[in-house]
Amino acid sequence: MGMGVNVRHQIAARAAKEIKDGMIVNLGIGMPTLVSNYLPDTMGVMFHAENGVLGSGPAPKKGEEDANLCNAGGLPVTVVPGASYFDSTMAFGIIRRGLLDVTILGAFEVNEYGDLANWIVPGKIVSGMGGAIELAQKAKKVIVLMRHVDKKGNSKIVERCSLPLTAKRSVDLIITDMAVIQVDAKGLTLLEVMEPYSVDEVIANTVAPLTISEEVTSVSVKG
């Protein structure tokens, strides 16, 4: 059940379909950063970074980095026409006012109510929870990208999160290497199954109760 480069890109490509023209979007570190690679150039999307950029663009070419311009993870970025800069107070003001249309985050666990655990595995050293709490609580749509199971084969979609929570009842959509699952007041609904998996395999690898949509489809996304 390894997570090859292709699978990461397949998940990112599927997530990109949730983004529409004119949206303000925040991408978390890791797999979510790949999502921008799958948006058409014609699409006017403004990417928001907690350190104070609205309109960050792709990574610069080697030798063209600007030491003063990076994303929230500290990696060099470019900006698109119409971009603006501000301090982190304003960046978090944008999040807390609910102005972000979509935030795409990684996760360790999500439960059947959309509770999110994505900031610490006890005993591991981390740099802190960053903006994840505000992003998960306040964005209009919260999408989680992750492997369906962990390295030991245990489901990451659980009935109760065992790890410290980032935010309760926050996740709207889960996209994994196996499935696309909607989260709402009724619980979890399986919308799409990623090739080459079957509905039965998704159910077998999901600990939390799963309702199967009547329109469930099989999806092939080329990463």
Active site residues: 50
Q: Which residues lie below 8 Å from residue 2, measured CB to CB, with a gap of 6+?
A: none
Asked if residues 100 and 26 have their Cβ atoms less than 8 Å apart, the reply is yes
Asked if residues 212 and 190 have their Cβ atoms less than 8 Å apart, the reply is yes
Angle 14-154-203 from CA coordinates, rounded to 5°:
60
Asked if residues 174 and 134 have their Cβ atoms less than 8 Å apart, the reply is no
Q: Which residues lie below 8 Å from residue 155, measured CB to CB, with a gap of 6+?
A: 148, 149, 205, 206, 207, 208
Please identify which residue in the block is written with the tokens 């609205």.
54
